[in-house]
Amino acid sequence: MVSEPILSDRAHDIIKEDIIAGLLEPGEKLQLDAISERYGIGIAPVREALNRLSAEGLVERRSQRGFFVSELSISDLEELVKTRIWLETLGLRESIANGNQEWEDEIILAYHRLARTDRLEERTNSVSVNPDWETRHHSFHLALLSGCGSSWLLQFCNTMMDQAVRYRNLSVNYTLERRGDALAEHEAIVSATLDRDADLATELLTKHYSKTLEGLKERLRNEGPSSGLAS
């Protein structure tokens, strides 16, 4: 028999994946019995998973009303990106100051894996984001920060990266397009980082996120109510 903690971990990972992918929509009520039946996992592990996701900001627990998928909005997106820039530029500066050869090697490997992975994949009658690209993109940005010496900062940044993916997946147009200069931006950040030029590296990282923010805001506004954003 599978233990309850293991089932709770499984429920957490599956529900988290579906929230980030947009399969569970912003504002959707998460009925315990319905979620339990949907994933074939008992109510107790599902409840524990939802409590954990609430702490991570992906689920909202409302008094006397139960669990809901956290809402998204343009203002929240702006705050998210601003906070990412604050923390990740700090983490990158600390990593540049303290990172060793192993840290540099990790960045190079993460970049090359990302560069060799197509962002989009073709499926029957559709094109979608390649999950391998999403994973490697996430790993690349974490690798830049991994020499900072703070597990707390890395944990916060990891959580915010998950939230950022929700917004990218929320915009259908965004998931079907790739900024032509995105790979070049990643390469420039790597070069400045390995040169130990903290001012340039953090400036490039800030511009990278700011450019992504403006593109997402434009697409989400153009999609209007169909984007799933709260008013």
CA dist 104 and 178 (Å) reads 27
Q: Per this entry, what is the length of the chain?
A: 231
> For residue 214, what pLDDT is reported?
86
Q: Are strands 66-69 and 59-62 parallel, antiparallel or unpaired?
A: antiparallel
CA dist 46 and 39 (Å) reads 9
* CATH class of residue range 74-227: mainly alpha
Fold of 4-69: Arc Repressor Mutant, subunit A (1.10.10)
Eight-class DSSP state of 175 = H
> For residue 155, what pLDDT is reported?
94
Q: Roughly how many angstroms between the first and final C-alpha of the chain, as a whole number? A: 46
CA dist 142 and 153 (Å) reads 11
3-state class of 178 per DSSP? coil
CA dist 211 and 180 (Å) reads 12
Task: For the chain, list residues with pLDDT below 50.
Answer: 1, 173-176, 178, 180-181, 225-226, 231
The residue ranges of every structural domain in the chain are: 4-69, 74-227
3-state class of 99 per DSSP? coil
Over residues 185-226, the pLDDT tens digits come to 999 999 999 999 999 999 999 999 998 888 788 776 765 544
Contacts by residues 6-13 (CB-CB < 8 Å, ≥ 24 positions apart): 7/41, 7/42, 7/45, 8/44, 8/45, 8/48, 8/49, 8/52, 9/49, 10/41, 10/45, 11/35, 11/39, 11/41, 11/45, 11/46, 11/48, 11/49, 12/48, 12/49, 12/52, 12/53
> For residue 208, what pLDDT is reported?
94
> For residue 200, what pLDDT is reported?
98
Determine contact, residues 73/225, Cβ cutoff 8 Å: no
Determine contact, residues 179/123, Cβ cutoff 8 Å: no
CA 137 to mean position of chain CA atoms: 9
